[in-house]
């Protein structure tokens, strides 16, 4: 069995084993239909990642953001390029992006990646970005091959470090459902396709505040007594005048493929 078969088969098996069944497009679309309105409030902004990408985008003419969602990265990057395609299969996520009045060079395209890759009207862009948008695609080979074809100069694939917030990590550990580490598989998959992706880890900070302990416990949703929750989260907690400050750091993993001719 070749390395290629291993990584792509392993990925497909992992994706199809996810209990939510989101590898079925209608399930993923239903998920985003429900989550779209609240997505931004639950996500950290990524200032260091945006700065890092901005430095590498210029002087790209065009950017294709695959799984652009509500534009968390699309919008702060749009000023660096003359033409942006924000592709997403969820009309609700794109509706949130649209409600932010994106600049004129941002073209919203509501289409599934698989369909887009077969659509001759989607032409290559200088840079292609995929941030947290491949996790439920069983056909990773098809997706990455297509993204590499669409990227004239650079492909950026972003995933997190698989850790997430301390309380979610602990909740998953207690439930025996550790979060899958996707960045190493994506790295292997790109190598299996003959690329030499550079892996960059970009540190980001997340901070939440809670007016009182009950609000912190409600967010943490840990099956532990209050004293234990406070003890396990203690390294991340600071008592402030109006409750708690909860702060942790995490790494964004960026796989950067520079096309040979760039």
Ligand X SMILES: C[S@@+](CC[C@H](N)C(=O)[O-])C[C@H]1O[C@@H](n2cnc3c(N)ncnc32)[C@H](O)[C@@H]1O
Binding site for ligand X (CB under 6 A): 28, 32, 43, 67-69, 72-73, 87-90, 93, 112-113, 131-133, 137
Residue 77 C-beta: closest distance to ligand X, Å: 11
* H helix count then E strand count, the chain: 11, 8
Tokens (6 digits) for 169? 């990590």
Alpha helix stretches (DSSP H) within the chain: 3-17, 25-42, 47-57, 74-78, 91-99, 113-117, 140-150, 166-174, 183-192, 213-220, 226-232
What's the distance, CA 52 to chain centroid?
A: 16
Report the residue number, 62 or 133, with the smaller CB distance to ligand X: 133
Residue 89 C-beta: closest distance to ligand X, Å: 4
Report the residue number, 49 or 62, with the smaller CB distance to ligand X: 49
Residue 252 C-beta: closest distance to ligand X, Å: 10
What 3-state class would DSSP assign to 159? strand
Residue 253 C-beta: closest distance to ligand X, Å: 13
Report the residue number, 119 or 207, with the smaller CB distance to ligand X: 119
Task: For residue 111, give the H/E element and its range.
Answer: none
Q: How many CB atoms lie within 10 A of CB 179?
A: 14
What 3-state class would DSSP assign to 65? strand
Report the residue number, 19 or 261, with the smaller CB distance to ligand X: 19
Report the residue number, 72 or 253, with the smaller CB distance to ligand X: 72
Residue 132 C-beta: closest distance to ligand X, Å: 4
Residue 227 C-beta: closest distance to ligand X, Å: 34
Computed from CA positions of residues 29, 164, 230, 45, in that sequence, does the dihedral angle turn out positive or negative?
A: negative
Report the residue number, 72 or 153, with the smaller CB distance to ligand X: 72
Comparing CA positions, the residue from 143, 150, 152 lying closest to residue 190 is 143
Tokens (6 digits) for 227? 């004293």
């Amino acid at each position: 069995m070749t390395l290629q078969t291993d990584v792509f088969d392993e990925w497909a098996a992992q994706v199809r084993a996810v209990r939510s069944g989101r590898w079925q497009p209608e399930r993923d679309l239903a998920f985003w239909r429900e989550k779209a309105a609240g997505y931004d409030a639950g996500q950290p902004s990524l200032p260091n990642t945006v700065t890092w990408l901005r430095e590498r985008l210029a002087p790209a003419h065009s950017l294709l953001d695959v799984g652009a969602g509500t534009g968390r990265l699309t919008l702060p990057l749009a000023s660096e390029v003359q033409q942006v395609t924000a592709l997403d299969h969820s009309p609700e996520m794109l509706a949130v992006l649209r409600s932010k009045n994106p600049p004129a060079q941002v073209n919203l395209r509501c289409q599934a990646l698989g369909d887009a890759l077969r659509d001759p009207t989607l032409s290559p862009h200088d840079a292609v970005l995929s941030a947290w948008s491949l996790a439920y695609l069983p056909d990773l080979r098809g997706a990455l091959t297509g993204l590499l074809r669409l990227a004239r100069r650079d492909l950026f694939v972003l995933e997190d470090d698989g850790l997430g917030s301390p309380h979610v990590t602990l909740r998953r550990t207690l439930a025996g459902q550790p979060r899958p580490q996707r960045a190493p598989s994506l790295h292997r998959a790109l190598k299996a396709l003959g690329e030499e992706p550079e892996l960059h880890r970009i540190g980001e900070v997340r901070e939440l505040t809670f007016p009182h302990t009950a609000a912190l416990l409600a967010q943490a949703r840990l099956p532990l007594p209050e004293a234990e929750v406070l003890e396990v989260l203690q390294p991340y907690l600071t008592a402030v005048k109006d409750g708690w400050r909860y702060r942790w750091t995490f790494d964004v993993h960026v796989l950067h493929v520079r096309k040979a001719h760039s």
